[in-house]
């Protein structure tokens, strides 16, 4: 893994909100050590507009973000994946495609902000909360000294990150 960036795929059902946020955040915080991707089992075909607005507000690049099927990453010629994380409970329970190379995987479920009904402010708050949770987990992940862990210890760390919550008052 040291001779190239680690490729990280974030999965969700619709690939319009949570997995897109995670892709953008790991590309922001990965500092060339990680390259993020996202996909969905049943992609919506468009990135949620609040996701784009929030990322732009937080000064996180949005170039190249798009809603796409996870089939793209199981096809010949797809990037070699080092890590695959599910960020929604539906995708975690689905039968995923076979990922060549046996990437490390974990479930990092977060609530679906796109499912929130209410005022625009309530929707933005939900997306901001999801952003904070994913931002916290991705910062923890990208700070890990990956080469100092064996696969078992690394899996324990990845699973623990999936339970991490942002510090009170963060964001």
Q: Kindly tell me if the per-residue pLDDT of 2 is higher than 60.
A: no
Q: Kindly tell me if the per-residue pLDDT of 31 is higher than 80.
A: yes
Report the alpha-carbon distance of residue 99 to residue 113 in Å, rounded: 28
* 6-161: CATH topology: Rossmann fold (3.40.50)
Report the alpha-carbon distance of residue 76 to residue 157 in Å, rounded: 30
| Nearest Cα to Cα of residue 72 among 63, 82, 64, 81 | 81
pTM of the model: 0.91
Yes or no: say if 9 and 81 are a contact pair by the CB < 8 Å rule.
Answer: yes
Average pLDDT, the chain: 90
Yes or no: say if 10 and 38 are a contact pair by the CB < 8 Å rule.
Answer: yes
Residues 17-29 have pLDDT tens digits of 999 999 999 999 9
Domain boundaries, the chain: 6-161
Q: Kindly tell me if the per-residue pLDDT of 8 is higher than 90.
A: yes
Which tokens sit at 95? 């039968």
| Nearest Cα to Cα of residue 27 among 18, 37, 17, 15 | 37
Residues 74-88 have pLDDT tens digits of 888 999 999 999 998
Catalytic residues: 12, 88, 96
Residues 113-169 have pLDDT tens digits of 999 999 999 999 999 999 999 999 999 999 999 889 999 999 999 999 998 877 666
């Amino acid at each position: 893994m040291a001779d190239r960036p680690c490729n990280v795929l974030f999965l969700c059902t619709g690939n319009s909100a949570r997995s897109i946020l995670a892709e953008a955040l790991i590309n922001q915080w990965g500092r060339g050590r990680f390259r993020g991707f996202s996909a969905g089992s049943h992609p919506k075909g468009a990135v949620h507009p609040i996701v784009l607005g929030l990322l732009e507000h937080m000064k996180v690049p949005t170039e190249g973000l798009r809603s796409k099927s996870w089939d793209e990453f199981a096809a010949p010629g797809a990037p070699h994946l080092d890590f695959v994380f599910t960020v929604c409970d539906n995708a975690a329970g689905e039968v995923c495609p076979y990922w060549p190379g046996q990437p490390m995987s974990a479930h990092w479920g977060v609530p679906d902000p796109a499912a929130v009904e209410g005022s625009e402010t309530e929707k933005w708050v939900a997306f901001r909360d999801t952003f904070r949770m994913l931002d916290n987990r991705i910062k923890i992940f990208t700070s890990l000294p990956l080469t100092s862990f064996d696969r078992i210890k690394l899996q324990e760390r990845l699973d623990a990150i999936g339970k991490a919550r942002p510090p009170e008052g963060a964001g």
